[in-house]
Structure 1
Amino acid sequence: MSHHGVHQRILQGQARLWALEALTTEVAAVRHPLGFICLPLERDGGEGVCVHMWSDSLAHAESTTSQIHCHSWDLVSHVLYGQMRNVHAVVTDAGADATHRVFEVVSAPDGDRIAPTPRTVRHDTGLVELFGPGDTYTLPAGRFHTSVVPEGGEAATIALGRGRPGSRDLSLGPLAAGPHHVSRQPLDARETALAVRLITAHLT
């Protein structure tokens, strides 16, 4: 189902039903470097629909930069279950007192190419938003933030993305880190089935 179609289902209060239906189809789940399991369900040009889930029952990937990032696409996120904190980061350019470097992340089928930029920054915690089951929130492209699930918590969201021309995927990382490539780690059939079972169990 398209980005627009899924968004309409969310607005109609049918997000849980849609997720249960969508997860009956074959899906190639991957471990995302930001610490969640991504189940991609639709990709059409600059639009995408995924289910993201956080669970200690499955191994997760680690970021080589940091959890603070911004998207090249506008996000609509709907919480299916659990709690989600959207922590905004206030990022300011800095020189000798910089704590992080900005990295550009370019994604491809074989993984992510991560390249340092000349920009160095400091950051502070900004607005912290807390969302629970049934809540929907939006985040425009270019806004630095972190998605945080309480330690040991279980959560899943429907993530709708719509690319914004001219925007880039960015992440804050160590000042001295160099360019590198990160391969996406696919879940095997057993792990994928477990992820689907865990989500389904929370929704039924």
Structure 2
Amino acid sequence: MSYRDVRRRLTAGQAREWALEALQRPLSAVRHPLGFVCLPLERDGDEGVCVHLWTGSLVHAESTTSQIHCHSWDLFSHVLYGQIRNVHVIVADAGAEATHRVFEVVSDASGDRISPTGRTVRHTTGLVEVFGPGDTYTLPAGRFHSSVVPEGGEAATIALGRGRPGSHDLSLGPLDAGPHRVSRQHLDPGETALAVRLVTARLT
């Protein structure tokens, strides 16, 4: 099923049914450094569909930069259950008063190559949007933000991404951090099965 078909079904109010169908196929889940488990479901060129799961029942990957990031792709996200806070972040260039450096993140099948740029910044919190079950929201490429789940909360979303030419995946990190690589952390079969059970149990 293509990105367009998935988006059409979500828009038609069939998110729950589609997720239950899609999660029956063989999956290879990964721990994402932004704190959730990613269950990849569709991929075609610069378009992709995943289920993102925030849960205390599985070990999390740790970020080497921060939770504040921006995508090289336009996000269309549907909340299956739980609460998601989409926290917009206002980033301004700064010299001696900078608190963070901008890092470029280049991903491949094995992990992420994280490279410091020459841009140093300060940031403040902007609009905070709160979304619950059944809500859908969008975020254009290039907007710094963080996705926050309340402490101890459980949540899952269907995340659709469509790449935007000329955009880059970026993250804010420490001023003095150097270039490094983060390997992709795959869940073992038992953990992947648990992730699927956690989502499907909330949808049935």
Q: TM-score, normalised by structure 1?
A: 1.00
Report the equivalent of 1:108. Answer: 108
After superposition, give the CA deviation of every residue in 1:19-41 in whole Å (9 maximum; x if it has no partner): 00000000100000000000001
SS at match of 1:26: coil
SS at match of 1:74: strand
Report the equivalent of 2:160. Answer: 160
Report the equivalent of 1:179. Answer: 179
Provide the C-alpha distance between the structure 1 equivalents of 2:11 and 2:106, rounded to a whole number of angstroms. 32
Report the equivalent of 2:41. Answer: 41
Pairing of 1:1-204 with structure 2 (within 5 A): 1-204=1-204
Q: How many matched pairs? A: 204
After superposition, give the CA deviation of every residue in 1:73-99 in whole Å (9 maximum; x if it has no partner): 000000000000000000000000000
Provide the C-alpha distance between the structure 1 equivalents of 2:135 and 2:103, rounded to a whole number of angstroms. 31
Provide the C-alpha distance between the structure 2 equivalents of 1:115 and 1:62, rounded to a whole number of angstroms. 17
Q: TM-score, normalised by structure 2?
A: 1.00
Matched to 2:174, the amino acid is: P
Provide the C-alpha distance between the structure 1 equivalents of 2:147 and 2:4, rounded to a whole number of angstroms. 23
Provide the C-alpha distance between the structure 1 equivalents of 2:5 and 2:51, rounded to a whole number of angstroms. 15
Provide the C-alpha distance between the structure 2 equivalents of 1:94 and 1:19, rounded to a whole number of angstroms. 43
Give the C-alpha shift of residue 2 in structure 1. 1.0
Q: Give 5+ residue unaligned stretches, structure 1.
A: none
Percent of residue pairs bearing the same amino acid type:
79
SS at match of 1:7: helix
Please provide the CA RMSD for this pair: 0.3
Q: Give 5+ residue unaligned stretches, structure 2.
A: none
